[in-house]
Structures are given as C-alpha cells and as structure tokens.
Chain A
Amino acid sequence: MNLVICLLSTRRHLTAAEIARTVPGYEHDARDSRAHEAFQRKFERDKAELRELGIPVEMGTDSILDTEVGYRIARREYELPELHLHADEAAALGVAARLWQHAGLASRATSALAKLRAGGVDVDDAEYEDFAPVSTVDEALAPMLAAVNVRRVVEFTYRVPSADVAARRRLQPWGVVCYRGRWYVVGHDLDRDAERCFRLSRILGPVATTGEAGAYEIPVTGDLIRHVADAPQAPSRRATVRVRPGRAAGVRRRAVQILPRAGAVDRIVVPYTDARSLARTLVRYGPDVTVEDPPEVRKEIVALLTEMAAVGGAR
C-alpha cells in the first residue's frame, strides 16, 4: 500500500535505492549483500504483484544523466476516470455483475463493481431482486477473448457430434458471438483458408495461443452474427391434422385454427415451414395424430413410419 502511495505521489522516477530508503518494510543495510538481495527479491515480487493487479508501474529515467532506471505510477494511467451514473444505470450494472455463472467471469465482474463503488457509484439493484439472469459460458470463452484482443492465432481441439474424431484447428479469431445463449468464435480458419465459426462448447481441452501478437488484421466489415445465425423463416404453410380426443397437447397448442370434428376425432390446423420436419414432429405422437392434408406431409410421415417399421422389424 505504501509503495503504491509513494510511487503515485512522485513526479520523477524513483530508483530502487531511493525506494528502499523511503518506504517502510524495505529498509536494510545496502552494504550487507544478503540483506540487499533479500530486498531486491521482495521489491521484484511486490512490483510483479502490483502489475498483476493492473497497476501501471512505469520504468524509466528522468534525464539522460540518470544511470539507473527508476519507477513511478502515472496518476492519469492509474485512476478510474470520473463516472456519473444515474440510479437506473447503476442498478443495471448491479444486475450485469450477477449474470455470470462462470467463476472466473463472476469474480472479475465483482471486482469491477467494487472499483466502481469505490469511484462513488451507488449500486442499488433491489428493483431487480426478483430477477436472475444467468449466462453459463464455456471454458474457452476467456482465452478466446484474450486472443482476439491481442490478435494472436489460436489452436484447439474441436469435435462436432457428427464427426467420429476430434480435429486440431488453427484459427485467427475475429470475435466472439453469443447467439441464442450459445457462444461461438468466428474467424479465419488457417487450415481451410476460409471464414469459419466454432461453437465454444465443442472445443475440447485448453485453447492454446501461438505466434506473435498482432499477427493479422480483423476485417472491419463487422456483423459476426451472420456467420452464426440462420435466417429465421416464418411458417407459411398449413397442415390439417387429426388428433385423438384428450391426446397430444403438444400438437394442439400449435393450432392456429380448430375445424369441425370428424366423429370423435378433433381436427386442427397447424402452421409449418418444411414438410419433413413437421412429419418428424408429428410422428412423436404415434397413432394419436394423423395428417389429413396436405399430401406432401402425409407422404413424408408415411415414408418415415415405414422406415421405422423396417428398422424395428430387423431387430
């Protein structure tokens, strides 16, 4: 603490010897080589600790006549700029800080909030006490973001469920996308020489960085999401299905229209986009649901059932 205050309060760079003479805890007899070495080790350790906390300890000299480097902390680099938040903005920050389930991100958000509080921001998020947003993130997120930030190539083992073996991939990461709650990295795949996106949950093991920082440029086109998102299609077609009384609530709740019954059987209209995927949905309900119309869906579902019966028969 005293070292921080000392280095912040000085305008000129202080040499290690000056610091040893000034700051309590460092005093020693510089002529005693063992004591001096102990001081040097302690000073190095403390400096490393300060840097680890993000404290900008500068090294330098004040004039060309100085033969020994000195240290100081530039106040401008150290201090959090003034930040005036309205109560509703501060409350939003409070909710945001509770978002992460991932321990690493959670502790960073907490320490960030502690600094903002120290900076005079009063965080009262009682308004949101009945609300718990949670984001579960993948282990690969933090290293991936760090790599994007310094533009370094990453290497990782990736496995999509349809592949039989995991593959080693090399990527120039451009950015990270969270789409529908799932995390992806988008970038230039060095082995395929093409733009690719990877789902972070499919990365096995650690993400390694290789090569130099600033190794590539990130295209300025932006819009990483388009690599991940599939264009949503509004269902434009309609199918009429028959549902046994009291059955298949999961199909009934999709109904956009209820038709007159056929005997004891209910008839409803459900919207769909693709005949095959509707058939796949309806087949889940077995004999409780049958398709009346259109023929394309009937054909799909009969084909599917026939195939399933054949597989079942082969057992």
Chain B
Amino acid sequence: MSATGTGRLTRLLNLVPYLQARPGILVADAAADLGVTEPQLREDLTLLWMCGLPGYGPGDLIDMSLDETVTITFDAGMSRPLRLNSDEALALIVALRLLAETPGVADVEAVRRALAKLESACGDAAPAATRVEVGAMAPEGWVPQIRAALRRRRALRITYYTAGRDASSERVIDPMRLLVVDDFTYLEAWCRRADSMRRFRLDRIDALTELDEPCSPPPQARPGDIRDGLFQTSDEQPMVTVRIGRDSRWVTEYYRCEDVREEEDGRWLVSLRAANLDWAARFVLGLGADAQVVAPPELAARVAGDVAAALAAYDEAGG
C-alpha cells in the first residue's frame, strides 16, 4: 500500500484514543493539535464512521457526536494507541537523555521524571536506548541568566568577543532564542549596535547584565533558519588556500572547507572562506610550520611578516 495509506492508517489508529481522552474537544482545536487541516480531520472522522467491529451494524461501528465539537460515543475497542516501536522509543529517549545532560536549559528534574516514565511505558522497545551514553554537553554558562531575561522580556548588555575580528565589544541586544547545537550554545538576538540579527556564542560572552529596558526587537527580526547548517559563507569573504601537513588535517573536520585536494606527499590543499585576512593570518599562524599559504599572496606576505616581526621581538629581548 502507498505511503499515504500507511500514514492515514497511523493517523486513524491514533485518532480514536486521542478523541476518547478529550471528549467535547473543538474540531478546530483537535486539528491544530494533531497538525492536520480541519477539512482533513473531518474527512478522517467520516471514514471512522465506516470502521468498527465485525458485523458492522449500527451498534458495531465507531460512533461519535460531531458538530463544532466531537465526542466519541463508541470506540469499538480502540481506546488506546499503539505502543511505541523501538525506533520511536529510541528517538525520544535519546533526545531526553541529551536534554538531561545539557545543563541549565530544560528543567532537568522534569526531564528525568519524563524519561523514567517513558522508559517503563516503552517496555521491550527501550533496551537499545539504554546503550546510549551522553556526556559533557554544552556548558551551562550564561543560560540561566538568559532564560530569565527571555521570560521577563528584557534587553541585555553584553561584552562579546568576536573571533573574526579578534575584538571585544559591548553591545545592547534584544534576546530572542537560545540555540543549543551539539557542543555549543548560541543566543540569537537583535543586536542594536549592528542593527541586525546576530548569533552570539555563549562561551564568547565575557559579561552580561539584564537591563530594565524591555526586549523590543523590530518586526523584521526573526531567528535564523538553521536547517541548512549554522554557518553560511558568502562569496564576499576572502577565499584562502593553504597547503597543510598531516597534523593539521583536523581543520577539514572543524571548519567548513570549500575544497580539499590531496597531494601525493600526504599534504592537503585546503580552501576555505575566511571572515577576513586578519582572521586568516591567525588561523594560518596557529597551524605553525605545518601550513603554507598558497593564496592569496597578500596573506602569505602578512604571515611571513608576522613571523619575522615576532622573532625579532624575542631577539631584541635577548632570545
């Protein structure tokens, strides 16, 4: 049967117990809660009228009173939903574990209680999830202060370190959303200084104060879409090409690279977009003697100049 057929059956199997647990619910509310349109829900309900116990007489078919609200009056024995299968159990249980280990974000006590109840309800479906361990997620940092400000809808003053410019600055922001992505936590906010949306990495916030001012982002302020990844590079950013040795290959896992070419001697030719040439110089210098700048030439000159100047500084001071 088609995927839509399977999808519909799943929906119908859930629908009867869902309504059974909520007698008199508004059809519109139920549709919104179930994530379907109201006409779609009404179509499903009409179909349910044709389902029931063998015999399929008036007393055997699923029955309900239906107008603006709906109440199931006969459920034909479909009072409970199907159990979670092991994939479903796993998806929720592992997610709860991740939440439980991400401190300061969700109410950890509530997460643990939910986890215990869910594991017992899943029964045999749960074992795979028990072989998943979670540790050292994003550190707590400023999360409690930020969540409090979000709740009270207040603006924040922060001191923020921008790695791209290697500069710290103070700014007033309108906090909008906390984003925990793998091992980093970000605050998405309207930055009044930049007059645009910005994403602040919590471990780069060096000071934070909640202001008496209300949080008032302009109407065009919207948290970014992260489905295509957190970082978007633009063509305006300078492309940097570096030849790296074996010990620096980690950069290809850590940074988004535009191109990686293997050369015959085990060296890799890596191209990536840099925030600016200053950042690129720090990046290349940090790789030490394991990296050579291939392009652009001004970066190569800059790096060579920095090395010579730094060496000279030590010579002056007496080696």
Answer whether A132 and B177 are a contact pair too, CB < 8 Å, given A53-B82, A80-B84. yes
Answer whether A115 and B84 are a contact pair too, CB < 8 Å, given A86-B113, A133-B102. yes
Contact of A109 among B51, B92, B107, B250 (CB under 8 A): B92
Assess whether B295 is interfacial by the CB under 8 Å rule.
Answer: no
Within 8 A of A (CB), among B42-66: 47-48, 51-54, 56
Contact of A283 among B77, B102, B285 (CB under 8 A): B285
**Cβ-defined contact, A83 with B99, below 8 A:** no
Chain B nearest CB, measured from A182 CB (Å):
7
Chain A neighbourhood of B150, CB < 8 A: 130-131
Answer whether A52 and B285 are a contact pair too, CB < 8 Å, given A118-B18, A120-B21. no
**Cβ-defined contact, A309 with B106, below 8 A:** no
**Cβ-defined contact, A286 with B281, below 8 A:** yes
Assess whether B140 is interfacial by the CB under 8 Å rule.
Answer: no
A78 CA to B79 CA, complexed, in Å: 11
Stretch at the interface among A32-40, A58-66, A87-95, A208-216: A87-95
Within 8 A of B (CB), among A108-130: 108-109, 111-120, 128, 130
**Cβ-defined contact, A311 with B102, below 8 A:** no
* A279 nearest in chain B by CB position: B288
**Cβ-defined contact, B106 with A6, below 8 A:** no
User: C-beta contact mask, A238-280 vs B, less than 8 Å → 1, else 0?
Assistant: 0000000001111011000000000000000000000000001
Contact of A290 among B1, B90, B247, B317 (CB under 8 A): B317
**Cβ-defined contact, B177 with A131, below 8 A:** yes
A307 CA to B258 CA, complexed, in Å: 28
* A135 nearest in chain B by CB position: B98
Stretch at the interface among B129-137, B190-198, B231-239: B129-137
Interface size counted on chain B using CB atoms at 8 A? 117
Chain A neighbourhood of B76, CB < 8 A: 5, 9
**Cβ-defined contact, B286 with A5, below 8 A:** no
**Cβ-defined contact, B133 with A177, below 8 A:** yes
**Cβ-defined contact, B95 with A97, below 8 A:** yes
Chain A neighbourhood of B184, CB < 8 A: 181
Chain B nearest CB, measured from A285 CB (Å):
7
* B159 nearest in chain A by CB position: A253
A298 CA to B17 CA, complexed, in Å: 72
Chain B nearest CB, measured from A294 CB (Å):
14
Chain A neighbourhood of B256, CB < 8 A: none
Residues of A within 8 A of B (CB): 1-2, 4-6, 8-9, 22-24, 45-46, 49, 52-55, 75, 77-86, 88-93, 95-97, 99-101, 105-106, 108-109, 111-120, 128, 130-136, 142, 145-146, 148-149, 161-162, 164, 174-182, 201, 218, 223-225, 228-229, 247-250, 252-253, 280-281, 283-287, 290, 298, 301-302, 304-312, 315
Known: A45-B1, A81-B120. 11 other contacts (CB 8 A): A80-B121, A92-B111, A93-B96, A99-B98, A118-B18, A120-B17, A161-B249, A180-B135, A250-B163, A285-B282, A308-B288
27 pairs across A/B with beta carbons < 8 Å? Answer: A49-B9, A54-B82, A54-B84, A80-B121, A81-B83, A81-B120, A86-B110, A92-B96, A97-B92, A111-B10, A112-B88, A115-B83, A118-B13, A118-B18, A120-B21, A130-B150, A131-B178, A132-B178, A133-B179, A145-B132, A176-B133, A177-B133, A178-B132, A225-B135, A283-B286, A290-B317, A309-B307
